[in-house]
Amino acid sequence: MSHLRVELRQRAEELIALYPRPRSAMLPLLHLAQEQDGYLSEAGIEEVAQLTGTTPADVRGTAAFYDMYHLEPVGKYVVGVCTNIACLLAGGIELLEHASSTLRCAVGETSDDGLFTLEETECLADCDFAPCVQVNHRFVRTTTAATFDALVSDLREGKRENEIPSHGTLIRVRRNGGLRAQKNDVNTERTDAKAARDQRAEEKA
């Protein structure tokens, strides 16, 4: 039985089909599992292990290498404030401290109402809007305490749901139908090319 919802399970299978080897779909699949549960639940990990032909320990260990995967439940909004060099020079640490008091949670923790998790991030590559803030990996470009607070009250009131969807970076990423048929052609051609290559190599030897 699938832990992933039908729609996600189908997307998972589509993703696997894109790669020459199932394990290659590990990172996108983990994004999907997180999209469903908000974090990587044991059931989600087990399903990814099964889909990629690996083991739960392997999947968990792989996921734990990457900062974007949460092995514990997190808030509805994960707020990341960058304090790396460009943001540091623009007051990133101060903004992070401010965020902590506005959100009423310590860095790395989740607010009591389960709405926010606050993270100190490394450079998010938006340094012309330093200090840089992301919510659920959407750049929000609130660089001052005041704009930050405005954002937070919007989020509390559910005003930015469209702009900032809940977890899952791939939530709006879909490969169009119809392309997978073409993909098969490409696959065949690739196999042919490889066979020809192997043959050439054999002839040479």
Enumerate residues 86-115 that contact another protein by CB under 8 A: 86, 88-90
CA separation for the pair 48, 9 (Å, rounded):
10
Report the nearest approach of another protein to the CB of residue 112 (Å): 25
Give the rounded distance of the alpha carbon of 34 from its chain centre.
8
Here the tokens at position 54 are 């690996």
Amino acid at 112: D
Site string for another protein, 59-78 (x = CB under 8 A): xxxxxxxxxxx---------
Q: Are 37 and 44 in contact (CB under 8 A)?
A: yes
If one asks whether residue 143 binds another protein (CB under 8 A), the answer comes out as no
> Least distance (Å) from another protein to the CB of residue 20?
6
Residues contacting another protein: total by CB under 8 A = 71
Site map for another protein, 158-177, x if CB under 8 A?
-----------xx-xxxxx-
CB of 89 to another protein, least distance (A): 5
* List 14, 50, 56, 109, residue binding another protein (CB under 8 A): 56
d(CA 104, CA 98): 10
Binder of another protein out of 5, 7, 194, 199 (CB under 8 A): 194
- The interface mask with another protein, positions 113-142, x = CB under 8 A, is ---------xxxxxxx-x---x-xxxx---
Instruction: Find the radius of gyration of the CA atoms of the chain.
Output: 21
Which of 26, 96, 105, 152 touches another protein by CB under 8 A?
Answer: 26
Our CB check for another protein shows the closer of 57 and 150 to be: 57
Among 5, 104, 156, 183, binds another protein (CB under 8 A): 183
CA-to-CA distance for 170 and 158, rounded, in angstroms? 21
Measured CA distances, 137 to 79, 168, 193 (Å): 8, 9, 40
Distances (CA, A) of 46 to 30, 92, 189: 11, 38, 34
28 contributes a contact to another protein by CB under 8 A:
yes
DSSP E strand boundaries for the chain = 77-82, 116-121, 133-135, 138-139
